[in-house]
A and B are shown apart, each in its own frame.
Chain A
Amino acid sequence: MKNKVFSSFDEAVADISDGASIVTECWGLTGMSQNLIAAVKEKGVKDLTLITHNFIPLVFFGEGEIANLTILLPQLKKLITPVVGLQYLGAGAFVQEYVEKGLEVELTSHGTLASRLYAGAAGLGGIYNPVGVGTILEEGKEKREIDGKEFILEKPIRPDYAFIRAHKADKMGNLIYRGVYRADQPVMAMAARTTIAEVDEVVEIGEIDPEHVVTPSVFVDRIVKVPDDAFGSTKRIKEIIGKMGENELIRSLLFR
């Protein structure tokens, strides 16, 4: 059996080169593959295409506390996402200077992105989508009436790499998630050509009940265990949440 367990994040991203496309999850703090993101930052590859559900500057946290997705901004050529920034923090204003320097931003919706990734995963030529009809999302796309209803053609997305933050992997690469960490990740793992997972725990083959496997091993190429003191470890996230009460902005946004 091919060894999928890597001992470092640097090693796991070693073959990522300039121009690569990467899909990864971000719903605020949850589900982010922070250590893989930090490794790509460190590696300095450029002209990347990043596909994600939310591209939000997590201004609430101190530098060094988390490796947020937006640290990759200077390395991007293209961004595909439904959310750039937060409305009350000026939405996409924080990427404006990069757009002026050539960053391309392709907007989409959450559901459309999920379906485009599924189309990429399943080898489909695209999807006919009712979402976006009559909006800016239909610009330049084929429109078609099916059974009296209007649809627009959305093309599949098949990224070079997926960065996945899972709870547990067995040495085969079978993955299970915890809570809403699951979200976008199973379809991202299926859509990418190479899938790299950072996980809380690596267990022996047979220790995950096959009935509970969410992402089957065939979709997973590399696994790295997140050390206790690394970005996004259970311990670190607990500490960050513990400190949330001290921050007035977080209190007003998340707890009122």
Chain B
Amino acid sequence: MKEKLDREVIAMRAAKELKYGDCVNLGIGIPNLCAHFIPEGVLFQTENGALGYGPLIREDEIENAEQYYVDAGGKFWTPVPGMSIFDIVTSFAMIRSGRLTTILGGLQVSETGDLANWSTGGGALGGTIGGGMDLAVGAKKVIITLEHTTKEGAPKILTKCTYPLTAQKCVNFVITDLAVIEVTGSGLVLKEVAPGWTADEVQALTEPRLILADDLKEIDLE
């Protein structure tokens, strides 16, 4: 059995999509882990109204946690100079006006960039919508991190999503434990594969046909 990338490495690769001056909103799960790998000069945004806040409070720093400084997932962060705090109308103007990049978790992504990430079905109460739909529709760049297949080995990158959608045609990049894929007008372009994996092996675990990038390469683990 060949090794797949672990969640930290997926997060590290996703964080490389960000550059100095970007504003980013991180979803729950693997995206949260990206916070450890974000390059300098990237500002964090949270739906509940803060931009440019400092590092999350870790387990050994709980005594520094302050009720006034939490993100939308309830995690405490550190206030730093230059950050701003604002109301939710302003926050979603930021989100829906294409000023942010977002890294979100995913359950399924389709060939055309549709995203399903809030529910595996089970009716309206089977999942939580939160701010994911707003981010998926409004962000200038939507990066989805997920494991390439389900625990049973079924593809999560599909011709058409079977779970309830978060948004249509919204995904720009998919970063998995096997590959980096760009969603383009002509289809899904396989840009990078995990070390030791071939394009054919990745294709076998992906439902739609992948277009191989001219400069297809291995994911850089450094």
Contact = CB atoms under 8 A, between A and B. Distances in A.
A16 interface: no
Contacts of B130: 82-83, 109-110
A83 B68 contact: no
A3 interface: no
Contact of A131 (B49, B63, B91, B167): B167
Contacts of B72: 27, 110
B61 to A, nearest CB: 8
A254 B131 contact: no
Given A30-B70, A180-B70, A186 B87 contact: yes
Contacts of B101: none
Contacts of A62: none
A92 B138 contact: no
Contacts of A131: 96, 133-134, 137-138, 167
Contacts of A255: 57-59, 62, 75-76
Contacts, number: 164
A179 B134 contact: no
Contact of A241 (B47, B67, B137): B67
A199 interface: no
A238 to B, nearest CB: 8
Given A109-B134, A131-B133, A134-B167, A87 B127 contact: yes
Nearest to B63: A242
Interface of B: 28, 46-50, 57-59, 62-63, 65-70, 72, 74-76, 79, 85-89, 91-92, 95-96, 114, 119, 124-134, 137-138, 164-168
